[in-house]
Structures are given as structure tokens and as C-alpha cells.
Amino acid sequence: MSSDRQKAVSKEQLLEQFGTMYDKLYAWREAHPEASFDEIASQVTPQRRALIGEVMVQLVLQHRSGQVAEGIVCEACGGMMVYKGEPGRDVEHLEGESHLKRAYYYCAHCKSGIFPPGPAVEVGGAQLDPRDN
């Protein structure tokens, strides 16, 4: 899928999620006309955090979605790293939590892996940035 098409799909998904969140919160408020500001905030905050968490995931994956790449070399030993799938990972941030699924590569010789491959990965070269471990 082209990046423009993916952007449009991602944006549409977020707008749909926002619409669902708004409808749910609006209905809650209708059912609780005497709710205080703090009570309203206690309803809004977790849903806002979940929505912004989705935005965070989309931005993180915008340029490096963890696609399978060939020729990734282990920086420690020079051995070839093997693609082992896309396990999920929960990441905590100021907006709450996000769940990322990124590619995982493993070096059988060193018995080490990297999740995800960082921006320094160059296909066919030995350029895994150790800060990305």
C-alpha cells in the first residue's frame, strides 16, 4: 500500500475511533447531567489516552514499520540475523500505553536479538545501532 493510501486509511481509522469515543462520552454525559468537572474528566481521560496512544503507534510506524529485511548483520559477531516474526510490545509514555508490533531479528551465534530494527539498519550491511536494543 502506498504511503499516501496508508496515511488516508490510518487517518480514517482515527477519525472513526474519535467519533465512537465522542458518541460514548456524549451519551455518558446525557445520562449524568449532574456530573462534576472531575467526574467528566475521569471519563474523558482514559479514552483520550487510548486514542492518542493510537496516534503514537501510527507515528512510530510511519517510517519504520518493521518489515522483513534481508541481510541484517549482527553488530557483535558479524553473523546474519534471522527474522523471527512480529511480537507485540507494550510501551508506556506520557499519554498512557501503546501496543507496537515490530519485526524481531535474532542472532543464533550470539543468542541475542533486536526489537525493533532501528533507523541505523542498512540492508546488506552491519549497521545495527546499539542504542535501539
d(CA 109, CA 94): 37
The pTM for the full model equals 0.58
Instruction: Write down the pLDDT at residue 88.
Output: 78
Please calculate the CA angle 1-57-90 and round it to the nearest 5 degrees: 130
| Domain spans of the chain, in order of start | 3-60, 82-132
d(CA 130, CA 16): 38
Highest mean pLDDT of the ranges 25-34, 52-61, 102-111, 123-132 = 25-34
Instruction: Write down the pLDDT at residue 7.
Output: 84
pLDDT in tens, 25-77: 999 999 999 999 999 999 999 999 889 888 888 887 776 655 666 777 888 88
